[in-house]
Amino acid sequence: MSKIAKELARTLKFRYIPDVQFDKLLVENINGTAHIRENSDKIEKMSQKCFVSRFDQYLNAFAHVLNTGQGVVLERSPFSDFVFTNALKAKDYIGIECKNFKHYYNFRKYTLAQIKFWPHAVFYINTPVEDFATFDSKFLSVIHDCYKDCINEFRRHSKILSYNSEKFVTSEAIIKHIESSDPDDIEWLNGDFLGYAAFVDDTNDPENSEVV
């Protein structure tokens, strides 16, 4: 995925922003004590820090677009971050009773509601779980299923370009797909993208919040 994202950004002359690197985050903020096999609130705290990091990265990317006019290719966004948290919960790395898990979703709900500028286009590469034999199949299956829910939400705001497997996808094929999908239709005030012009009057008003 990283290779394709880099090639796509280079071809389009966009800025490439890789996914957040969490090694430093874990060492400095959690002191390296959170082990994936533990069932403790440290895992939930780690999940929330991952979300905050992706949220900050998304805001920085958006600021770059506004300040320079240059497009941005992001590997991941805060909108899809929940797929990993759900996978951790499914494997019992996060306990059902843990208050931090509920806090993650409450925090996510009110935070993402403030983002009124969704990605113009979302590229989804659907790779079968069995292609990753070195990973836990249940963990990957939950991620796979959650991504389907995520894509359905993205579909309300962004142009979705979906592919079956990474090994058959190239940046050239994606660009051709973009060109054939009439990207000029993706505008803030056009059709499904009317939400781009909406503003939040009261950030504490639940009616203005949107779960994604």
For residue 195, what pLDDT is reported?
A: 45
Q: At 30, which CATH number? A: 3.40.50.300
Has residue 148 got a pLDDT over 90? Answer: no
Which of 8-12, 43-47, 101-105 has the least mean pLDDT?
43-47
pLDDT per position as a tens digit, 27-56:
544 454 544 445 556 677 778 888 899 999
Q: Decide which of 40 and 143 is more confident.
A: 143
**How far from chain centre, in Å, is Cα 101?**
18
Which pLDDT band holds residue 79 (cuts at 50, 70, 90)?
very high
Check: pTM over 0.75? Answer yes or no: no
For residue 56, what pLDDT is reported?
A: 93
For residue 67, what pLDDT is reported?
A: 95
Collect all residues with Cβ–Cβ distance below 8 Å to 77 and sequence separation of at least 6.
54, 58, 119
The number of distinct structural domains making up the chain is 1
Looking at residue 163, the DSSP 8-state letter turns out to be: E
Q: Which domain holds residue 7?
A: 2-208
